[in-house]
Structure 1
Amino acid sequence: MDLDAVRTVVATADAGSFHLAAVDLSITQQAVSKRIASLEKDLGVRLFTRTPRGARLTLDGQAFLPHARALLAAADRAVASVRPGRRALRVDVIGSRLAPSALLRDFHRAHPDTELDVVHLFDVAEAHAALLAGTIDASFRAAPAPGHPLPEGILAERVHDEPHDLLTGPAHALAGAASLTPERLVGHRIWIPGIVPGTEWAAYYEDLAAAFGLTIESTGPNFGVDALLDVIADTPSLATLVGAQTRLVWPTGHDLRRIPVAGPVPMYPHALLWRRDNPHPALAALRTHLAAGAANRPAAAVWAPEWARGWA
């Protein structure tokens, strides 16, 4: 259905005349007549009756008018859903408990009027595909990870370096430490069942283990965070590494310990990825907000994988 013709019907019904509708629509009266005549032909009914005082809706016109208004409202919503500045900014944060989600929440607190659509994609390859397809506006990822170069047209800025905590149960040999150097983790089993070969986080933990001689295991099924916490609480020989900003809640009886790792501080490098030609104004605001936070990186000695060094 010709939406211009539908819009002309609504304007004519509201104005009460073809002439005033033409003025409201900034078109000629002849164009108003042609649009309505064409729609009447398609529908097989008369929508208006001309009178000395203007144009009056017929019974069919009265039946059609509320549907015409609904059609125009739906068209406006469809346009708004994809128009930069009017639709929500769609951002991938990997997971709701992880640091990128916290970064995006901080942005929303600073910009409460910015509408956000938060999604959770699996890995950087999926994020690249979504950015290129335009189904998301931005993604928080460790980039550029080995095996995952930035595609043409995708840009990245390093926006946040996240320290690690060692998470242990109360009976673990390191449970009483106030902080730990990476060297003190040597010889202890670190279990991270969520490591998937080929992902950016797999590349990070592989490099971390090689740099400090750590034993990082990913064996066994990944039943999720709650199951991981249960195992760590009950198994004195196992610990796990978590991002310092990862949100975790566990039963009181678990008595888990989060111990900062420092000297040097291993840093997981979070970057924001976006498509070069994306004009969404909220994307620029997000980048500015994150850049201000990135300027406050820790001054202490840090470690990051080779592929994450030398760019910011």
Structure 2
Amino acid sequence: MDIDAVRTFVAAADAGQFQEAAAELAVTQQAVSKRIAALERELGVRLFTRTPRGAELTIDGQAFLPHARELLRVAERAVASVRPGSRPLRVDVLASRGAAAGLMRGFHRAHPEIDLDVVMLLGIETAVASLRSGTIDATFRAVPAPGIPLPDDLESVRVLDEPLQLLTGPAHALANARSVTVAQLAGHRIWMPGIVPGTEWAAYYDDLVAEFGLTIEATGPNFGSDALLDTVADTPALATFMGEHTRLVWPVDHGLRRIPVTDPVPVYPHSLVWHRDNPHPALATLRAHLAATAPAPGAPGTWTPPWSAPRRTSP
């Protein structure tokens, strides 16, 4: 049903004259007559009777009027639900304990007035498809992943280089080190069952292994971070990598150590990615916040894979 025709009908019913309805709607009287006639044809009834005083509702017109008003209220609510800024900003952070989630917590503390909807999607291809379909407003990813270039309608900016740390149990050979160099990790088994083939983080660790001759094992089912921590704590032969900003809690008797990795410092490059035509006003606020609070990426003495050089835009 034509909402403009319904709106015209309600205006004419309230005014009692087509001429006054036309003035209220800023259209011609002929346009009002055409809209009413089209609505009457669609409904199969007469809605108005012309009188010397103007236009009076027929019995059918009187019956239709309250429903017409409700149709207009529903249409207004539908428009308001997608009006820029009227819905929460929806951002993909990949994992609830990761660095991206921490960045969004900082944003929420700085801007508590902005409604947020935080989601977690697996893999950059899923995130890119969601950005292009409008399912999400932004995502944090390492881009552009090898073989997965960003479409031209997406923009990105690097917002955080997160240093990797070695996580070991108390009986591991490197457990008492204050820091370890990348070269010292050669020959040690680093267990990371959360690596999913084809993802951007899989590409990152593939390049890390190739560059420094490390041994990273992704074997076995991924039962989550708690099971990973239990295994590392109990197995002297295994260690794992964790981002410096990853939030983890473990029992005191685990005795786990987080050890900085140096010479160079491997850093995971987090970028914010969004659709260039996204009109949500909170998206610009998020970009400005990250630009003001995040340190510049690519610090001396750090390592990132050569593909992690996203397009950079001004906030």
* Common fold: TM-score over 0.5: yes
Check if 1:130 corresponds to 2:133.
no
Aligned equivalents of 1:136, 1:197: Cα separation in 2: 24
Change (3 A) 1:16 1:105: farther
Which deviates more, 275-284 or 221-230?
Answer: 275-284
| TM-score of the aligned structures, taking structure 1 as reference length | 0.83
Name the structure 1 match of 2:256: 256
Residue 19 of structure 1, CA deviation: 4.3
Q: 1:97-176 maps to which residues of 2 (within 5 A)?
A: 97-176=97-176
For residues 6-65 of structure 1, the C-alpha deviation after alignment (integer angstroms, 9 at most, x for no partner) is: 222333455565444333322234433442343233223454566787666566545544
Change (3 A) 1:307 1:42: closer
* Alpha-carbon contact 2:6-2:68 (below 8 Å) kept: yes
Which deviates more, 18-27 or 139-148?
Answer: 18-27
Residue 123 of structure 1, CA deviation: 1.5
Name the structure 1 match of 2:268: 268
SS at match of 1:267: strand
* Alpha-carbon contact 2:157-2:310 (below 8 Å) kept: no
Check if 1:6 corresponds to 2:10.
no
Aligned equivalents of 1:311, 1:29: Cα separation in 2: 54
Name the structure 2 match of 1:67: 67
Residue 86 of structure 1, CA deviation: 4.5
Which deviates more, 131-140 or 44-53?
Answer: 44-53
Residue 191 of structure 1, CA deviation: 0.9
Report the AA paired with residue 256 of structure 1: L
Name the structure 2 match of 1:283: 283
SS at match of 1:118: strand
SS at match of 2:180: coil
Aligned equivalents of 1:114, 1:72: Cα separation in 2: 29
Name the structure 1 match of 2:307: 307
For residues 289-309 of structure 1, the C-alpha deviation after alignment (integer angstroms, 9 at most, x for no partner) is: 222234455856212122226
Aligned equivalents of 1:299, 1:76: Cα separation in 2: 51
Across the two proteins, how many residue pairs are aligned to each other? 312
Change (3 A) 1:238 1:23: same
Aligned equivalents of 1:132, 1:233: Cα separation in 2: 42
Aligned equivalents of 2:62, 2:250: Cα separation in 1: 62
* Alpha-carbon contact 1:88-1:116 (below 8 Å) kept: yes
Aligned equivalents of 1:172, 1:51: Cα separation in 2: 96
Q: 1:170-185 maps to which residues of 2 (within 5 A)?
A: 170-185=170-185
Which deviates more, 248-257 or 262-271?
Answer: 248-257
Q: Which runs of 5+ in 1 are unaligned?
A: none
For residues 227-272 of structure 1, the C-alpha deviation after alignment (integer angstroms, 9 at most, x for no partner) is: 2223223323222111122222334554433333334321101112
Name the structure 2 match of 1:202: 202
Aligned equivalents of 1:114, 1:25: Cα separation in 2: 35
Which deviates more, 30-39 or 202-211?
Answer: 30-39
* Alpha-carbon contact 2:190-2:215 (below 8 Å) kept: yes
For residues 106-148 of structure 1, the C-alpha deviation after alignment (integer angstroms, 9 at most, x for no partner) is: 3333334444443332212223333344443332211122222
Residue 95 of structure 1, CA deviation: 2.2
Report the AA paired with residue 169 of structure 2: G
Residue 66 of structure 1, CA deviation: 4.2
Check if 1:235 corresponds to 2:240.
no
* Alpha-carbon contact 2:160-2:295 (below 8 Å) kept: no
Name the structure 1 match of 2:293: 293
For residues 209-239 of structure 1, the C-alpha deviation after alignment (integer angstroms, 9 at most, x for no partner) is: 2333322110011122232223223323222
SS at match of 1:258: strand
Aligned equivalents of 1:131, 1:9: Cα separation in 2: 40
Aligned equivalents of 2:114, 2:292: Cα separation in 1: 18
* Alpha-carbon contact 2:155-2:311 (below 8 Å) kept: no
SS at match of 2:193: coil
